[in-house]
Amino acid sequence: MSTEFFQCGRYRFARNRRPLVMGILNVTPDSFSDGGQHAGRDAALRHAEQMIAEGVDIIDIGGESSRPGSAALPLDQELARVMPIVEALAACGKPLSIDTYKPEVMRAALAGGADLINDIWGFRMPGAVEAVSGAAAGQAGLCVMHMQRDPQTMQEDPQYADVVAEVEEFLRERVSTLRAAGVDDTRISLDPGFGFGKTPDHNLRLLGQMPRLAVDGLPILAGLSRKSTLGAILGGRPPQQRVAASLAAAVCAAERGAFIVRVHDVEQTVDAIKTWWAIRHESVAGTGQSGE
């Protein structure tokens, strides 16, 4: 393990405690599973309050859908969607993550109280590395995700010679770039990008060999909740009927070393992860997680 803790903005999480549960808060009308349910400010805040009551560790706020085939959202619209939520939740007592690839949104969110930048593009957009490595970024956590091509085309026959090796190589290169820009290892987490330019078999191979993807022991974030790979396993069930499969995937990811699981169903996942952790360690100690 390269670091004893994960620095997430104002919060510091010990790496020797149970994995963190990141709750998804989509303020979008078109996300694949819950699009439109929390698009308004009041509905989004109610959902955030519910997740906090359910034991969420991190709240991940997204203003632009990244489902396969989705179109890019103009900057002003994304800011209008996410910034009122960031500002309203800044003092909620939980770290706030922003799911964005736009440097302008990164800067605004960090200034508004966000603690983590979750970037599906792996900080490859011009200006993204600068936005998260300068003094204004402070100790914000970063999540580097792998994606083949872009959301519009990523699921059009994705191909790899060796998906695990190629994702590992990509993550290693991005970590090197962030380090060169002065970002400390304690701030970096890695996401294999399940469903982002991968077939179901690619995703299952990545999950099965996840320990290989923990570059230099950095923490892994796994986002499998309700995704189409689970639907394929279940014979085509829609997203809302993939809860049990999502829980199984979250526990499997934790068993293979994931430190953060990104989910829709917070209460059920917290219960599952706590139970897995207690069984694994033959003790109830350490089933809680709180940032310093």
Mind listing the pLDDT tens digit for each residue in 206-237? 999 999 999 999 999 999 999 999 999 999 99
Whether this model's pTM surpasses 0.85: yes
pLDDT surpasses 90 at 292: no
Does residue 107 have an active-site annotation? no
Token pair listed for 177: 């770039």
Mean pLDDT of 244-268: 98
Active-site residue (options: 81, 94, 226, 262): 262
pLDDT over threshold 70, residue 1: no
Our answer to whether residue 262 is catalytic in this structure is: yes
Two structure tokens written together for 195:
């469903």
What type of residue sits at position 164? Answer: V
Rounded CA gap, 195 and 224, in Å? Answer: 8
pLDDT at residue 201 in the model? 97
pLDDT tens digits, 11-63: 999 999 999 999 999 998 755 455 555 567 889 999 999 999 999 999 999 99
Residue 183 tokens read as 């970002």
- Of the two residues 65 and 237, the one the predictor is more confident about is 237
Strand-pair category, 96-99 with 58-62: parallel
Pairing label, strands 116-119, 141-145: parallel
43 touches 97 (CB < 8 A): no
pLDDT in the model for residue 101 = 96
Task: Name which residue leads in pLDDT, 136 or 71.
Answer: 136
What number is the average pLDDT over the span 226-251?
96
Q: What is the mean pLDDT of the chain?
A: 93
In CATH terms, 7-280 corresponds, of 3.20.20.20, 1.10.1040.10, 3.20.20.140, 1.10.1240.10, to 3.20.20.20
Percent of the chain, pLDDT > 90? 83
Question: Which entry of 187, 227, 256, 274 is annotated as an active-site residue?
Answer: 227
Distances (CA, A) of 180 to 3, 137, 219: 18, 16, 19
